[in-house]
């Protein structure tokens, strides 16, 4: 069983400032877990919503499994996230604040073989914050290059 599956949403760290983190299970159907184990999934365009007191991930892409029969799963369907009721209530209260969003950040497989999703409660960054991040990354890269020569 391959435990090293790590599907990340790299763009989210640049676009959002993370406030809180939660780990949720995902309710999957049929061959979806096999496609995830083959690294055939993407959460770049995905987002989370709360509907009737339950958290769902929308627009998450899981490719059809190549070796499946004629009955396959839908590629982009709403998938239920498995969280405790207290966590859902806490998230729901915080989402009512202006400017907060629930962003999927990392999809991984546990050693037991379960698919889990790290979701982050985040606030959108302003343009000048993004520029500051880029400047600090460039400065750090330059310092690392200079340290390497010594």
Cβ atoms of residues 32 and 141 within 8 Å:
no
What pLDDT does residue 86 have? Answer: 95
The reported pLDDT for the residue numbered 3 is 58
pLDDT of residue 108: 93
Q: Which residues of the chain have pLDDT under 70?
A: 1-3
* pLDDT on residue 11: 87
DSSP state letters, 35-84: HHHTT-EE-TT-EEEEETTEEEEES-EEPPPTT--S----SS--EEEE--
Superfamily designation of domain 6-125: Small protein B (2.40.280.10)
Residue 1's pLDDT is 41
What pTM, to 2 d.p., does this model score? 0.80
**The two structure tokens encoding residue 52:** 């009737």
The reported pLDDT for the residue numbered 22 is 95
103-134 per-position pLDDT tens digit: 999 999 999 989 999 999 999 888 777 788 88
State the CB neighbour count (10 A cutoff) for residue 55. Answer: 22
């Amino acid at each position: 069983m391959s435990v090293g599956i790590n599907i990340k949403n790299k763009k989210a760290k640049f676009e959002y400032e993370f406030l809180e983190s939660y780990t949720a299970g995902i309710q999957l159907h049929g061959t979806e877990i096999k496609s995830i184990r083959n690294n055939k999934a993407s959460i770049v365009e995905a987002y989370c919503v709360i509907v009737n007191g339950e958290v769902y991930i929308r627009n998450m892409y899981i490719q059809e499994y190549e070796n499946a029969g004629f009955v396959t799963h839908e590629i982009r369907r709403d998938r239920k996230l498995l969280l405790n009721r207290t966590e859902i209530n806490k998230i729901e209260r915080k989402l009512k604040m202006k400017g907060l969003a629930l962003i999927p950040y990392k999809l991984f497989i546990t050693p037991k073989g379960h698919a889990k999703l790290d979701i982050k409660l985040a606030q959108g960054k302003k343009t000048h914050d993004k520029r500051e991040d880029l400047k600090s990354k460039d400065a750090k890269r330059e310092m690392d290059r200079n340290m390497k020569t010594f």
